């Protein structure tokens, strides 16, 4: 249960922190891992929240996809682990229900 391999949650859980920066929901966007090329919803990434800030890793190869650190008066975001993020705008316009 406390095994280190299980220290992560889903990318879902970063929705609130990412909403500080982006107007669209990044967790439903498809992102391509810059290391292995896998393309998955960001919600499916493995999210590590025990560190200072948040680190998302690829669910396939565990390489870092995103790093997000909030400090007083500044938010630092590193997206170099993803080659792109693709947003479905039809779903966004649908809003709720």
Q: Give me the residues that bind another protein (CB under 8 A), please.
A: 1-3, 6-13, 15-16, 19-20, 25, 27-28, 41, 43-44, 49-50, 91, 96-97
> How near is the Cβ of 50 to another protein at its closest, in Å?
8
Torsion of the alpha carbons at 26, 43, 16 and 89, rounded to the nearest 10: 30
Which of 88, 41, 31 shows the shortest CA–CA distance to 65? 31
Beta bridge partners of 64: 57
- Pick the closer one to another protein by CB: 43 or 64: 43
Distance CA 82, CA 91 (A): 22
> How near is the Cβ of 34 to another protein at its closest, in Å?
21
> How near is the Cβ of 83 to another protein at its closest, in Å?
20
């Amino acid at each position: 249960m406390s095994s280190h391999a299980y220290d992560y949650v889903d990318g879902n859980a970063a929705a609130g922190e990412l909403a500080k920066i982006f107007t669209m929901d990044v967790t439903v966007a498809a992102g391509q891992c810059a290391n292995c090329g896998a393309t998955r919803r960001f919600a499916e990434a493995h999210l590590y929240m025990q560190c200072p800030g948040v680190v998302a890793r690829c669910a396939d190869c565990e390489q870092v996809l995103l790093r997000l650190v909030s400090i007083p008066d500044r938010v630092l975001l590193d997206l170099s682990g993803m080659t792109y993020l693709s947003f479905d705008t039809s779903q966004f316009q649908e809003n709720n229900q």
